[in-house]
Amino acid sequence: MARRTLETLSFDNTYARLPESFYAKLNPTPFSSAPYLISFNRAAAELIDLDPAEAARPEFAGLFGGSLLVPGMEPLAMLYSGHQFGTYVPQLGDGRAILLGEVWNDRGEKWDLQLKGAGMTPFSRDGDGRAVLRSTIREYLCSEAMHGLGIPTTRALCIVGSDHQVYREQVETGAVVLRMAPTHVRFGSFEVFYYRKQHEQLKILADYVIAQHYPHLVDVSDKYARFFTEVVERTAKLIAQWQAVGWAHGVMNTDNMSILGITLDYGPFGFIDDYDPGFICNHSDHNGRYAFNQQPYIGLWNLSCLAQALLPLAEKDSLKAALDSYTPLCERRYMELMQAKAGLSQEQEDDAALIQDLLGLMQQSHADYTNCFRALGAFSSAADSLNEPLRDFFLDRAAFNAWAQRYAERLRKEQSHDGERRARMDRINPKYVLRNYLAQTAIEKAQQKDYSEVDRLLALLQDPYSDQPSMEAYAAAPPNWGKHLSVSCSS
């Protein structure tokens, strides 16, 4: 692999070649004080063949802090609209994000480089276009944590900070996160042209996305319906993965839904600590629209909005058939993941009841979701085993004992070997996730200009399934102060 410098990154700008109605071209707004590098992600740098040594150059913080450009960049803010908390908002767009351009790597992959927090754009509405250090750390760490868990997601190259003052609930310092994805086109990118009755632009966008990201459909006669069918499938499988790992997005508006079925826009997210299917991670979500257990339904609702936007291009019956496939796909993938989390390698009729009963016991006992499933890997199917470490998660010991007996019989039925099963389960049940209290600890240190915890968490979360003996404390359930942290859309 050729190692590239900042100046020799291989830029292309296919989105900038679309009609001007798709975006606003503008440069990032530099901070009022000198930018400086807070954290650099070598794994993301490899995706664009960037030499890690480049991060030590002062130009690196300038470039990814919004004060420098290199040849080939054509910065722009993308136009889109969307349904926010169920209500259509006619124009949104990148209010604090600027697409610098697209970089090709030597493997023929193309990555958008987008600065989030790079200043005002024509779509900022009443905002200042800035992000604060707190929110950039959360997005940077969670996107990499999700990648470590094997969940499709945007990636993050770096955080660049400054002493520039930003006003939120209080005065904070501004920062930018450089996020990467094959594209940042979202459901709302289609909705804006549908509701404006700009069907030619709608077709141009659909043709562009298909050519760039679904090229096998370019010459298919019913390509728009087939394209939508694949978006449905990707979205269903993505949300099944969120549910299995116990992660809540917090603000599943249609403008936060990727056309590639990857996790997009990290605001008030949260991993479940004490298992609660009704978990609401966004304190602005007063009605629980985006509660954890509502996510599969909201995925379908959002896809129906996208289907509506594609009506000028595809047959209604074809779009409806694709929508009808969503729930079975999502439920099937979720059950496959939960069977794997429970170490079941053969499908049996009573698997769903066995898993649901375990989740019910976990809910009654406020058991830690991540730790309980990790402990389940060490379950002994021997008839005389009490399975005490796992049993200690449950308040109703008799109910747990009854469940454990059923589970042991189920394992023996498929002739499961405890050691081999545990190895399998440890590859799907993470030991480490980005709990809100861990992110908050890193944020508070960073606000004192100690960035060591950001880098420590980044390294930890890139390998969440392995036992890391020196990091044992990071697998602990949150302390009391960490259980009720409030996060909002500004987080």
Q: How far apart are CA 270 and CA 401, in angstroms?
A: 31
Write out the binding residues for ATP. 93, 95-96, 116, 128-129, 179, 186, 265
Token reading at 143: 């996107």
- 271 near 207, Cβ under 8 Å? no
Single out the catalytic residue among 49, 94, 112, 255: 255
Whole-number Cα distances in Å, 6 to 142, 176, 178, 228: 25, 18, 14, 37
**Which residues are known binding-site members?**
93, 95-96, 116, 128-129, 179, 186, 256, 265
Please, is 82 exposed, middle or buried when counting C-beta atoms within 10 Å of its C-beta (0-12, 13-18, 19+)? buried
CA dihedral over 53, 56, 60, 64, signed as positive or negative = positive
Please report, as a single letter, which amino acid is at residue 61.
A
Is residue 141 within 8 Å of residue 442, measured between CB atoms?
Answer: yes
Q: How would DSSP label each residue in 195-216? A: HTT-HHHHHHHHHHHHHHH-GG
Q: Are strands 110-116 and 82-84 parallel, antiparallel or unpaired?
A: unpaired
- Torsion angle in degrees (nearest 10) through CA of 412, 415, 420, 422: -20
User: Binding site for Mg(2+): residue ranges?
Assistant: 256, 265
- For residue 255, indicate whether it is catalytic: yes
List b or e across 145-173, with b for residues whose CB sees 16 or more CB atoms inside 10 angstroms. bbbbbebbbbbbbbbbbbebebeeeeebb
Q: Which residues are catalytic?
A: 255
